[in-house]
Structure 1
Amino acid sequence: MKKYMLLGLCAALLTPISMVHANTLQDQLSAIAQAESEGKARQDAKVAAEKAAREKALLEEKLKRERTIAAAERKRAQQIASAEKRRAQQQAEAKAIREAAEKERLQDKGRDQSYEDQLRELQLAKMKLELESQSKRVKREDDFIDAELKRENARTDVIQSDADSNRAISTGAKELMQSEGRASETKAGKWFN
């Protein structure tokens, strides 16, 4: 549309005009050419500006995608690092638990062995005491036999004493009866009782 206006303007200017106007016409044509070139330059600048704006928008979009991708990669790297850190921490905790359990097991084993050692020592001491006791008993067996014989002799003496005392009582009773019998006989043999 600008071209038509320019052409119309050019045609109007080309109509026979005086020379004075011819100079101005020349100036006008130059101005039109200059305006046309300025318009074309503005048009080219506008196209270039639009192209630059599109390129800038594309570049910004590309940078935005790259930033998004970089952010996603950073986030993924952080997640991986965090997961590795958690895994390492879990492994360290599991190792610490295993080591503590092993230490506890070894301590229990040590306590069990110590207890068994003490129990064996106690059993050995008990067996030694029993052997010593039996050994002393064997050594003193004659003393035990003598004591037993003395006890038996004492019982026999007590029995013998009881028997002797019973005999003495019965002999005394017999003699008493015999005396009483003789006395009765003597008394009965007398005339005057």
Structure 2
Amino acid sequence: MKKLIAIALALSSFHSYALTPQQQQLLAIQQTEQQEQQRVEQELHMQQQNAAVKARQRKEANARAEKIAQQKNAEQQAMRNQKAEIAMEQQKKELDYQNKMRELEYQQKQLELQQAQAKVSRTNDYIDQDLKRQKAETDVIQSHADANRNVSEGDKNLATSAGKAAENKSKSWFD
């Protein structure tokens, strides 16, 4: 385009002496049109450059916004992960606590069972001792009964012997 303008200017200055006024007017119109076309092309070129700059700026702004959004999403995801970790740790603590409580309850039940078994064992011992005591009392009573019976039999035998002796004595008096 610039070459055409340069050629047109060179021709116009070279032929300006030999041209008629009409040709000079045409040449002036042509030069004006070419200048207008150059101006329009320059404006178009400037608009294209401005559009390209604006597009690049929009692209950069979009990239920055996307990067900020990604960072924000990453931060939010990190916060969600941290909250999830804290929740999992809390849940683990609660489960551990519940397990310990169940273990303590189990141990307490075991101790209660052992106490009950010991109590039953002691109760059996008390019952055995009570039975032995009662047997001993029964033996003592039996011994007293046997002794009383022996004394009674002895008294009876004595009385019988004394009665026979008296009979014999009385018989011997009458005999």
- TM (normalized to structure 2)? 0.69
% identity of equivalent residues: 11
- Does 2:51 match 1:45? yes
Aligned match of 2:90: 84
Q: Unpaired runs of 5+ in structure 2? A: 17-22, 155-175
1:69 to 75, 87, 105: 75
Whole-angstrom CA distance in 1 between matches of 2:127 and 2:117? 15
Q: CA deviation at 1:116?
A: 1.5
Q: Pairwise CA RMSD of aligned residues?
A: 2.8
Q: Which amino acid aligns with 2:109?
A: K
Following the alignment from structure 2 to structure 1, what is the Cα–Cα distance between the partners of residues 96 and 85? 16
Match among 147, 152, 168 for residue 141 of structure 1: 147
Residue 173 of structure 2 corresponds to which residue in structure 1?
none
Letter paired with 1:67: N
Which piece of structure 1 moves more, 132-141 or 26-35?
26-35
Match of 2:129 in 1: 123
Check 1:41–1:130 CA distance in 2 against 1; reply closer, same or farther (3 A cut).
same
Count how many residue pairs are aligned between Structure 1 and Structure 2: 142
CA distance in 2, matches of 1:144, 1:79: 94
* Equivalence for 1:160: none
Aligned match of 1:132: 138
Which residue identity does 2:135 align to in structure 1? L
Q: What is the alpha-carbon distance in structure 1 between the residues aligned to residue 121 and residue 153 of structure 2? A: 44
TM-score for both structures, normalised by structure 1? 0.63
**What residue identity is the alignment partner of 1:138?**
H
Which residue does 1:32 correspond to in 2? 38
Question: Max radius of gyration: which structure?
Answer: 1
User: Deviation per CA, 1:106-139, whole angstroms, max 9, x where unpaired?
Assistant: 1111111121212111111110010010011011
Match of 2:115 among 91, 109, 114: 109
Q: Aligned partners of 2:30, 2:137: CA distance in 1, in Å?
A: 153
Deviation at 1:30, TM superposition (A): 2.0
Tell me, in whole angstroms, the C-alpha distance in 1 between the residues paired with 2:25 and 2:151.
180
1:100 aligns with 2:106: yes
Displaced runs of 4+ in structure 1, greater than 3 A? 12-17, 142-148
5+ residue gaps in structure 1? 149-193
1:63: Cα distance to partner? 1.4
Higher relative CO (Cα under 8 Å, sequence separation at least 6) belongs to 2
